[in-house]
Amino acid sequence: MQKISLPWAFLDAVDGSALAVPPVEYKPNKVKILQGYALTPNEIGCYLSHKEAWKCCVEKNMPTLVLEDDFVLSSDFENILHALLNEVTEWSFVRLQGLYEVPFKKVLEQSGLTLVKNQGDAVGATAYLLKPPVAAQLIKHSVEIYEPVDHFLEHHQKHGLEFLAIRPYPVDITRAKSTIADRSERAPVKGLQKRIRSVARVVDRVFSKEPWFPR
């Protein structure tokens, strides 16, 4: 963090593996039916940790930089951050890192920055910058937790938000083991389980006021 001269604070992560019981936001049976798999304790803890960061953003009422513990900053990171906070105002949430390369469309070039709209899910929530109204919206739609937080951030049909990204990304990951821990690769949901999930999602859209997977 020596590359950032701005004030910062370490937010203790929620250790999902230390939770005696699932949080009230997590409904295991409903998740298993509508998602097709259960979230790991670490995924639940990671989501809760980000939710705490969103709450801090709202409480302090100021743009907030959220970094997980496995980040590496580029040499010009502070210049990029300064430009976003003081010169480029046409954003509400900016992705600063992504695990996968996806197509993107340029939205704005200003102050040496290239803001884009990703055309796919870059995955990962290691680094992003957001403003209080967006944080409040994310909290509002996190009453129930049913997917990893980086998937939720890209779930635009659910929270109704559209995010931008900086390209090239000014943050990478260390590839070291995180204190939250990375999730292992999952086998895709197939066969009968996939058909049951599809039917369950249709029923949820019809009868739920806040469906998990809206069209």
Q: pLDDT tens for residues 56-94?
A: 999 999 999 999 988 999 999 999 999 999 999 889 999
Instruction: Spell out where the chain has E strands.
Output: 64-67, 71-73, 93-95, 104-110, 113-118, 127-130, 164-166, 171-173
Q: Are 59 and 178 a contacting pair, CB within 8 Å?
A: no
Give yes or no for a cis peptide into 28 (omega within 30° of 0): no
**What whole-number distance in Å separates Cα of residue 159 and Cα of residue 124?**
17
Q: Which residue would you say has higher pLDDT here, 185 or 193?
A: 193
* pTM assigned to the model: 0.90
Q: What is the pLDDT of residues 114-169, one digit of tens each?
A: 999 999 999 999 999 999 999 999 999 999 999 999 999 999 999 999 999 999 99
Confidence category of residue 184, pLDDT binned at 50, 70, 90: low
